[in-house]
Structure 1
Amino acid sequence: MPAKGKHRRFKSSSLTRGIAAVGTGGAVLVLPVLGATIASAAPAETAAKPVAASAPAAAAPKTYVVVAGDSLAKIAREHSLSGGWKKLYSDNRSVLGSDPGLIHPGVKLTLGKKAPAEAAKKPAATRASAARADRSARTTTLTAKPAVAPAKKSYTNDLDGWIKESLDIMAQHGIPGSYDGIHRNILRESSGNPLAINNWDSNAVAGTPSKGLLQVIDPTFLTYHVAGTSMDSYDPVANITAACNYAAAKYGSIDNVNGPY
């Protein structure tokens, strides 16, 4: 029986040693057997290349008709418009005019107009600032401002008020004259009495007495009557305006009249 031998634990290597016993007439031959244990490396997985998503096609602009109660901020919000009310105003400035707060029902607006290429290249800080401005603008209601008619000028119902109202009408029609010129002639002709009438001069004898503040006869009043004033020759404003119109035609201005005319 063969003697016991010492056994050692072999270190791992790419080749593993094996022992095979072969009988040869009672003798035992110990033969090394080499076994290949080289593991082939698994092929590296091919990294998946990301596929760039194609940019969605730009939506075609839409048309929106403004209705009562609309505002640019409201329209931009309800239609989720990029750029908010400022972009909406910029795209439609030609139909909105210079005041973004003034929009009228019936106006046609273009929604979703494609932004210029430069807009996409703006720095992030600029875009963030614009976004903050847009959020702030949403809190402001831009309603159509109703047109306010100018207040009608009022005049006192006395000689001072009659002269001032006549002067404003004369200015509209290009009739010359001054407050002092009118006042001076009124005091001489009627002492400021709008119902004064002359029943004793040649005009009265001819059947056309002089009437009113500036003592105008009916034919002259009708000829030089100014549109927009009363047809009553006793009406203070109508009488003054017609008399000044006559004086302008004959003397250049009521200011040039210093006696009977």
Structure 2
Amino acid sequence: MAGRGMHRRPRTNPLIRGAVAVGTGGAALTLPLLGATHASAAAQALPQANQPAKALTYTVTKGDSLYRIADEYDVAGGWKQLYQDNRAAVGDDPKLIHPGLKLKVKTTKAAAAEKKAAASPAPAQPAVKPAGGVAQATPAAAKTYANNLDGWIREALDIMAEKGIPGSYDGIYRNIMRESSGNPQAINNWDSNAAKGTPSKGLLQVIDPTFAAYHVPGTPYDPFDPVANITAACNYAADRYGSIDNVNGPY
């Protein structure tokens, strides 16, 4: 999504949760990779008054980030404090946390956090065929996906189906190959968006203001996360063009 600035004019839609839409006429909003959030989340991040923090052990799952975990458990000091508390286990790069890694989390939401940390993933369920004969898609959370481009697209499509966002495998794949050649860490540091301080990122080259405005709830708040990037881009394309399938060039 380079050059012609497809993401420079975010629009509001039903899936926006308190995000600030940034237009071309205003100052560019640069969101840090792990610390970015929007107004409603910031309001929720205030620690509960007079309630001491309690430590628990959290096991990292696919799609997690330090920001998401810190936000979920109201960690005082946010993801940076969570990183400092677990630096020996995480290593030098806070963006790289792997499934199975155990983190020490200090939270004020003790009861809810302990319950969630102890919960096991729900087993995958087969598609349900109701009386009308039309099969219903199994929720994305109940499935497992390959950690590659095919798996990312299929997981994104299931989430999009749940949220009512249009798009097809072929439409997503075609645009990914044009924008990033399938590299989820791709970043454009040379076009007009980059010059304004909002470089295009990820599989579908989304700039931070557009990601903030069209982020799909239930996906990591990280523009480099493959599934979050795909769903946000498709959400934007649906609002602007009707569907990602209608996009055949820079958008």
Same fold (TM over 0.5): no
Greater RCO, 1 or 2 (C-alpha within 8 Å, sep 6+): 2
TM-score (norm 1): 0.43
TM-score (norm 2): 0.45
Q: Which entry has the higher C-alpha Rg, 1 or 2?
A: 1
Higher fraction of strand: 1
